[in-house]
Amino acid sequence: MQDRQFGRVRLIFGENGGKYPFNHSLYLQGDKERVVIDPASSLEKLTRLKEEGVDGVWLSHWHEDHIRYMNLFDGCPVWVSERDFPPLTHLETFLDWYGIEDQGARNYWQKEMLETFDYRPRQTARFFRDDQTLDLGGLSAQVIPTPGHTPGHLSFFFPEEGLLFLGDYDLTSFGPWYGDAYSGIADTLASIHKLKAIPARRWVAAHNTGLYEENPGPLWEAYENTIYEREGKLLAFLDRPKTLAEICAAWLIYGRPREPREMYEFNERVLIGKHLDDLLHRGKIVYEDGCWRKVESR
């Protein structure tokens, strides 16, 4: 895909169609400051961008596929929500925030983070304020807190261009991710509703299709409905008491086993865990004798 320019905002399409472990980046060309958002699109493109001039790096959130080439801009200040800063300070904290407990899995991800994503701990950053507007010179950026995917996930609206950067509320058919230790379903739903209400003319997601130049209304509905469909599948599967192992073996989220198993078995378990916690909180299920059981409605 060829990069697109919208006034002072450039959309830099990522390698592999913007699919993990890459994303789509933005380049903001203000008179006062030039900024790259989520520098993980393409090493070649971002290297050329560095030659054009970059004064700062903004992060929508802390995930590895959004910081992959951040060190290319070493020396530039990094801006992030203070709520999402701790995983950037230490690799062990990074893994803790994903909820990775198994030592074998931690070893796998330590290697991945160092070799694939060039993880380097940071002790300092600059922090956005929720709902603040930044003046870059001929271009303003509104900081929109959109927690759920991560506690400090941010989206950005550029009113001059009518462009809304969604970050990882990416409108993919897979649906939202809310499986991290500090992610949540309720916050994810609230953020989806907030983003739908912003009067944009263009929408940019960090992955896959990336650019939407017409209102993606039906896609928002399908994206949100994925949450309810997952819940429905889980409740239907609890036709009798089931252990967590039995539930995960059914692959209700992904539909079938996928490779690498180290990644997808973990993803299945943590997403199922979020739904179990949510349903338990709402009184839809109970946990007894090592099994989850549906509460029959009266």
Question: Looking at residue 99, which CATH number applies to its domain?
Answer: 3.60.15.10
Q: Which domain holds residue 62?
A: 4-216
Beta bridge partners of 97: none
Tens-level pLDDT at each residue, the chain (298 residues): 899 999 999 999 999 999 999 999 999 999 999 999 999 999 999 999 999 999 999 999 999 999 999 999 999 999 999 999 999 999 999 999 999 999 988 998 999 999 999 999 999 999 999 999 999 999 999 999 999 999 999 999 999 999 999 999 999 999 999 999 999 999 999 999 999 999 999 999 999 999 999 999 999 999 999 999 999 999 999 999 999 999 999 999 999 999 988 789 999 999 999 999 999 999 999 999 999 999 987 6
Q: Residue 194: how many CB atoms within 10 A of its CB?
A: 14
Task: Give the residue carrying structure tokens 């239907």.
Answer: 236
Same domain, 247 and 177: no
Same domain, 273 and 127: no
**The two three-digit tokens of residue 4, written as one number:** 């697109």
Q: Residue count of the chain, please give it.
A: 298
Spatial separation of the C-alpha atoms in residues 177 and 166, rounded to whole Å: 14
Task: Give the residue carrying structure tokens 């989220």.
Answer: 253
Dihedral sign for Cα atoms in the order 94, 97, 103, 105? negative
Spatial separation of the C-alpha atoms in residues 163 and 66, rounded to whole Å: 19
Spatial separation of the C-alpha atoms in residues 116 and 64, rounded to whole Å: 9
Same domain, 212 and 105: yes
Same domain, 157 and 277: no
Residue 111 lies in a domain: yes
230-240 as b/e: b if 16+ CB within 10 A: bbebbeebbee
Q: Give CA 277 to chain center in angstroms.
A: 21
Spatial separation of the C-alpha atoms in residues 150 and 62, rounded to whole Å: 8
Residue type, 65: D
Same domain, 122 and 184: yes
Residue type, 166: L
What pLDDT does 120 receive?
98
Residue 200 lies in a domain: yes
Same domain, 34 and 176: yes
Phi/psi at 155 (nearest 5 deg)? -115, 165
Task: Give the residue carrying structure tokens 């993803």.
Answer: 267
Whole-model pTM: value is 0.96
**The two three-digit tokens of residue 54, written as one number:** 């970059």
Spatial separation of the C-alpha atoms in residues 224 and 192, rounded to whole Å: 7
Q: Count how many domains the chain has.
A: 2
Same domain, 71 and 134: yes
Give the residue from 185, 216, 247 where a domain finishes. Answer: 216
